Amino acid sequence: MSILIGILGLAVVLGAAYLMSNNRKAIDFKAVGIMFVLQIILTLIMFKTSIGLTVIESVSNGITTVINYGREGISFVVDGWIPEGGSPFFINVLLIIIFTSMLLSILTYIRVLPLLIKYVGGFLSKITGVSPVKTFHAINNIFFGQSEGLLAIKAQILKMDANKVIVISIASMASVSASIMASYITMLPAQYVLGAMALNALTSLIIGIIIAPDVEKDEEKVDVKDASPAKSLFEAISIGALDGGKVALIVGAMLIAYVGLMALIDGVFNAVIGISFTEVLGYIFAPIAWLMGIPAQDILVAGQTMGTKLATNEFVAMLQFREHMPELSEKTVGIVSVFLISFANFSSIGIIAGSMQAISGEKAAIVSKNGLKILLAATLVSIFTATLVGLFL
């Protein structure tokens, strides 16, 4: 029964995207079909084959090992700050962003990541017919997230029409950055974090080209010569570390603001109507959770987490969800964990518009005008990916 509900959920998401389309006649259904088949194959391999499970486990263990090396630097700096038995979120979860950001900067400088992204994106473009810039951007977002991903294709963005800008904005909002992946893994099961990062790249293209299909095909090329601004390896290390430090501080500041704000809103709702705002979100999103294949007994908790993520950000939702995980089914944990791995929330509209502003005021205006549409599309990406994974759990 849950499989049939999950299939219905996928159909509802695709139907919603179709209804939102700017030009239904121009939708490339062949590309959508190819990418959907690729998703099914990839999901099947990752979650249902011994080889896939072994690879996921090996990658997860490798990342954990790398994280532990990074913790050596954290321990050196903050040794003695942590009381025995304590586990400060900023130190144990956020500071590791500095280390992973530095590693990404090194891999970019030595051109390992740019070439990998270019050729994987190029292969995806050839078999689907989707433009190479879009596929490059979708794969690039697996590693660099929304702001950095947009800046990597700024020369191409200047030539894009409104539909292309909307597609890459959807892909940006539906992604996360590998620099904060390590932080996610400290809160959620690693296999779902890794699976969501890979699958969202394809889902964002599926939803994007349905909602904003290309009217005309342009000749596009991807250039990775200037992928890194660093002039030396040590400069790459410094840039990565400083960028990671900024992200850690920004995320910390946002969490202080959003967690406090949610507590205030919950208090007001409890005082006025006798039920918290978080519980209200649970009832609003419960039908969506049910369509995603989440067991009936878990849909309120799942709905609360999903609503919190949309209203605030994924970190706040993960902190909330982590407290409920021991009492939830494995299927619920998997589906909700996958849903949480994206930047799809209201604040991301401003982040993407701001990044576009740095490239072109005209393109930023397109993002601002279509901000809610882009957010809804990115949320559909999260729902679709999570529902698909749920079919194999």
On the question of pLDDT at 72 being above 80, the answer is yes
How far apart, in Å, are the Cα atoms of 160 and each of 131, 155, 170, 368? 12, 10, 14, 16
Query: With pLDDT > 70 as the criterion, what percentage of the chain qualifies?
Result: 95
Please check whether residue 143 is in contact with residue 113, taking contact to mean a CB–CB distance below 8 angstroms.
yes
Q: Give the distance, in angstroms, between the CA of residue 107 and the centroid of all CA atoms in the same chain.
A: 21
Taking the C-alpha atoms of residue 177 and residue 162, their distance in angstroms, rounded to an integer, is 25
- 270-307: pLDDT as tens digits: 999 999 898 899 999 999 999 999 999 999 999 999 99
pLDDT-derived band at 87, boundaries 50, 70, 90:
low
Specify the pLDDT at position 223: 67
What six digits make up the tokens of 336? 């909700």
Residue located via tokens 């896939």: 52
On the question of pLDDT at 8 being above 80, the answer is yes
Task: Give mean pLDDT, residues 100-105.
Answer: 90
pLDDT-derived band at 16, boundaries 50, 70, 90:
very high
Task: Give mean pLDDT, residues 69-94.
Answer: 76
Taking the C-alpha atoms of residue 293 and residue 218, their distance in angstroms, rounded to an integer, is 40
Closest CA to 315 of 142, 150, 93: 93
Specify the pLDDT at position 327: 95
On the question of pLDDT at 358 being above 90, the answer is no
Q: What are the φ/ψ torsions at residue 265 (nearest 5 degrees)? A: -65, -40
Residues 6+ apart with CB under 8 A from 116: none
- 121-156: pLDDT as tens digits: 999 999 998 989 999 999 998 888 787 788 888 888
